[in-house]
Amino acid sequence: MKAFFIDRYNKKEPMRFGEMPEPKLRENDVLVKIHAAGVNLLDSKIKVGEFKAMLPYKLPLIMGHDVAGVVVEVGVKVKNFKVGDNIYARPADYHIGTFAEFITIDEADVAIMPTSLSMEEAASIPLVGLTAWQALVEKGNLKKGQKVFIQAGSGGVGTFAIQLAKHLGATVATTTSAANIELVKSLGADVVIDYKTQDFESILSQYDLVLNSQDAATLEKSLRVLRPGGKLISIAGPPDPEFAKEIGLNWLLKMVMFFLSYATKRKAKALGVTYSFLFMRAEGSQLAKITRLIDDKMIRPVMDKVFPFNEANEALAYVESGRARGKVVIKVT
From residue 218, how far is each of 133, 164, 175, 269 by CA, in Å?
Answer: 22, 23, 11, 17
- For the chain, the structural domain boundaries read 2-124+301-331, 128-277
What does each of the 333 residues of the chain score in pLDDT, given as a tens digit?
Answer: 999 999 999 988 999 999 999 999 999 999 999 999 999 999 999 999 998 988 899 999 999 999 999 999 999 999 999 999 999 999 999 999 999 999 999 999 999 999 999 999 999 999 999 999 999 999 999 999 999 999 999 999 999 999 999 999 999 999 999 999 999 999 999 999 999 999 999 999 999 999 999 999 999 999 999 999 999 999 998 888 888 888 788 888 889 888 889 999 999 999 999 999 999 999 999 999 999 999 999 999 999 999 999 999 999 999 999 989 999 999 998
Note the CATH number of domain 128-277.
3.40.50.720
* C-alpha–C-alpha distance, residues 43 and 55, integer Å: 13
| Preceding amide of 114 cis, omega within 30 | no
| DSSP one-letter code for 247 | T
Q: Does domain 2-124+301-331 have CATH number 3.90.180.10?
A: yes
* C-alpha–C-alpha distance, residues 327 and 306, integer Å: 9
Residue 13: its pLDDT value, please?
94
Residue 194: its pLDDT value, please?
98
Q: Are 43 and 98 in contact (CB under 8 A)?
A: no
DSSP-assigned letters across all residues of 47-82: HHTTTTTTS-PPSSEE--S-EEEEEEEE-TT--S--
pTM (2 decimals)? 0.96
